[in-house]
Amino acid sequence: MHTSPEQSAQALLTIAILACGLLVATRPLASATASTTNFDHVVIGIMENHAYENIIGNSAAPYENTLAQQNALMTQSFAIGHPSEPNYHELWSGSNQGVTDDSCPHTFTTPSLGQQLISAGLSVVTYSESMPSDGFLGCTGSANGGNYARKHNPGADWVVTQDAAHNKTYNAWPSDFTTLPTVALVVPNLCNDMHDCSIGTGDAWLAAHWDPYVQWAKTHNSLAILTFDEDGGSNGNHIYTVFAGAGVTPGQYSEHITHYDVLRTVESFYGLPGIAGAATLNPITDLFGVVSPPSPSPTPTPTPTPTPTPTPTPTPTPTPTPTPSPSHGHPSKTHSPSLSPSSVATASTLPSPSPSASPENSPTPTSTPTSTPTATQSAAADTGSSGDVGGQIVVFGLIVLVIAIAVWGLFILRR
């Protein structure tokens, strides 16, 4: 079939227009599929044998309630089974490894979070309080006035993380958090994890030992995850889990999660595949916003020194007129109230602590999320303004080039 020059030119111009549309349409897709969060450090802390209802609203746990109010509280977080030890294995490997009791010792070579990180060239350490020495493999031990149990230290149960370089005492916990490994697991001793001692004892330990890292993490691209192994057997295994750190959007999040979801989320930060029970799960993403450095403190504007108004010299007259007395009223001031730390962080999303310290009297808070960010908001926040400008320039240049080619072709064909 014969095609006229005009038809050829029109076809060429149509192709050019479609190409322009394709360039414009595909650019937002590139931004929406940008890489996910990647933290420099993630620290997981595990407490013992208390339900969500035992902690939230309990006046014996003021620190944990404040932590939940100011960060991301998972209101539907659940352990997987009973007793304690299987839950540690499940958090660490996505499987209880056939262990259904608190027996000891066990030694595994199966895949684990520790093995994944080491294979990827990343670092991992478990820090166990009151463990007698680095690399200790005994089932129980005592040091620094406390008691240690290996059943709470999953790192000691895998060959790849049993050695002294990966299985450390809490004495090795650094004061300089920049020296932390990529992923760390913190295991308090049997008193401070609330296994043998009160909720108040464990809460005070967290305020002294956990909170310094939490506050540092918020401005250093790092994350803190505080959870419990199980609920103690009376609340459907409903447990307290809070995420805190850089880019974490405070609020209550009501999706159902277990130890497997926490494992899958940590794996996703470093591009690791899900293992065992975490293999088919999607990572938790809705609570993470943009990880960015803190804004610099504004430089205060100095108050200008008022210039006194010169007193006018009275003009003499034949009949002196009395001069009125000057006003002595103070100039008005605008008062800017200072924001308290709690009002700066976020509005409270949890019930006020009960006046009773008894877990049985603790109110059950609503599980409706109050500030869950949408996927659209997260995707939009991940698009930097400087990247947008550069991308727009490239797209505009390509559009101009395609149109120029089309016009040139039309000109040639009409000659």
Distance of CA 311 to the CA centre of its chain: 63
In this structure, the answer to whether residues 67 and 135 fall within a common structural domain is yes
Residue 275 burial (C-beta neighbours within 10 Å; 0-12, 13-18, 19+): buried
In this structure, the answer to whether residues 83 and 226 fall within a common structural domain is yes
In this structure, the answer to whether residues 70 and 159 fall within a common structural domain is yes
> Is the residue at 407 inside a domain?
yes
Residue 304 burial (C-beta neighbours within 10 Å; 0-12, 13-18, 19+): exposed
What is the C-alpha to C-alpha distance for residues 398 and 28, in angstroms, rounded to an integer? 16
In this structure, the answer to whether residues 46 and 22 fall within a common structural domain is no
Least confident range of 7-11, 19-23, 29-33, 88-92: 29-33
> Is the residue at 311 inside a domain?
no
In this structure, the answer to whether residues 58 and 27 fall within a common structural domain is no
The answer to whether the beta carbons of residues 69 and 57 sit under 8 Å apart is no
What is the C-alpha to C-alpha distance for residues 184 and 234, in angstroms, rounded to an integer? 30
Residue range of the domain that includes 171: 41-291+361-374
In this structure, the answer to whether residues 48 and 168 fall within a common structural domain is yes
> Is the residue at 307 inside a domain?
no
In this structure, the answer to whether residues 82 and 175 fall within a common structural domain is yes
Task: Kindly state the tokens that stand for 179.
Answer: 């020296």
In this structure, the answer to whether residues 107 and 27 fall within a common structural domain is no
In this structure, the answer to whether residues 201 and 243 fall within a common structural domain is yes
pLDDT tens readout for residues 84-94: 999 999 999 99
DSSP per position, 355-387:
S---GGGPPPPP---SSPPPHHHHHHHTS-HHH
Q: Per the structure, how many domains does the chain have?
A: 2
Q: State the pLDDT confidence band at 135, using cuts at 50, 70 and 90.
A: very high
Question: How many Cβ atoms are within 10 Å of 158's Cβ, its own excluded?
Answer: 25
What is the C-alpha to C-alpha distance for residues 264 and 256, in angstroms, rounded to an integer? 14
User: What does pTM read for this prediction?
Assistant: 0.66
CA distances from 87 to 12, 170, 182, 394 (A): 65, 21, 22, 52
Mean pLDDT of the 28-35 span: 31
The domain that holds 106 is classified in CATH as 3.40.720.10
In this structure, the answer to whether residues 84 and 207 fall within a common structural domain is yes
Bridge-based pairing of strands 72-74 and 242-245 is: antiparallel
Mean pLDDT of the 298-312 span: 43
> Is the residue at 302 inside a domain?
no
Can you say whether the dihedral through the CA atoms of 121, 285, 240, 86 is positive or negative?
A: negative
Mean pLDDT of the 205-226 span: 99
- Can you give the pLDDT at residue 289? 83
pLDDT tens readout for residues 257-270: 999 999 999 999 99
